[in-house]
Amino acid sequence: MPAELIDGVAIAKQVRAEVAREAAALIARGVTPGLTAVLVGDDPASAVYVRSKEKACIEAGMKGEAIRLPADTPQADLLALIDKLNADPTVHGILVQLPLPKHINAQAVILRIAAEKDVDGFHPVNVGRVWIGEKSGFAPCTPAGVMVMLAQAGVKVQGANAVVLGRSTIVGKPMVSLLVAESATVTVCHSKTRDLPSVTRQADILIAAIGKAEFVTADMVKPGAVVIDVGINRVDDATNAKGYRLVGDVQFDAVRAVASKISPVPGGVGPMTIAMLLKNTVRAAAQGLA
């Protein structure tokens, strides 16, 4: 029997409805949650992401603003803009869309954003807060979304053997923090892991976030495991009008025959990322009132 699908679109819709209710309650108290996204340059994918975030904010009754800067914007000018947004009481969340042009130091930019407005969850202060379980910290949106998906799908995380495939600062490492906080036993795998399939086959919960198209095969998955596919990759497809199709880090059809639950690509983790960004922004606005 094929694995049950974990529908990220439906779960994200629930989260966004909850965010809209929370935003309305804050507006009734005189505070409209506001998110400002900064885009430097004209990378097409980044432009799409920024537009979708702006639109999602407005749909939730929040203030959504996008500031677009030329690709040759000096780092000093970007940092000055961040200082201005940090000081603006109507801006509760700030994100600078990555990647940035090569002449700009991304870490310097992340450090400049006030931790209480860092709704992407990349500032070291938030990284530390999430690691120690401090509830005021903002977790990065993608791993936070994965945790909501697991909860909504009825997956028991406590005591489970979880394997995270990938160790990025955006997904892999914070994913470990959140799973440990829910009392899972966590193993992190990466390019230097020996005999990778033998490790991934121990997983009750397998999180694939390695960024390699259809890397995870059926023989790497324990029968009955829950598989969350964080990857999103383009592969050539002459039968598609666009000339490509989107796939995850998991060989979906083959793995679905082995797993008990699985998230699809597209329609899985992707929609959750923006939903959790909105949730973090509303939390930032609420924490500002405390």
Q: Supply the residues annotated as catalytic.
A: 53, 97, 120
Cα–Cα distances in angstroms (integers) from residue 96 to residues 40, 102, 111, 150, 245, in the given order: 8, 14, 11, 28, 28
- CA–CA separation, 75 and 38 (whole Å): 13
Name the amino acid, one letter, at 165.
L
- CA–CA separation, 113 and 123 (whole Å): 8
| H or E segment to which residue 192 belongs | none
- CA–CA separation, 59 and 51 (whole Å): 12
Q: Which two tokens stand for residue 242?
A: 């666009």
- Can you tell me which residue has the tokens 């992340």? 110
Cβ 138 vs Cβ 284: under 8 Å: yes
Q: What are phi and psi of 266, to 5 degrees?
A: -75, 180
Q: Which two tokens stand for residue 274?
A: 């923006």
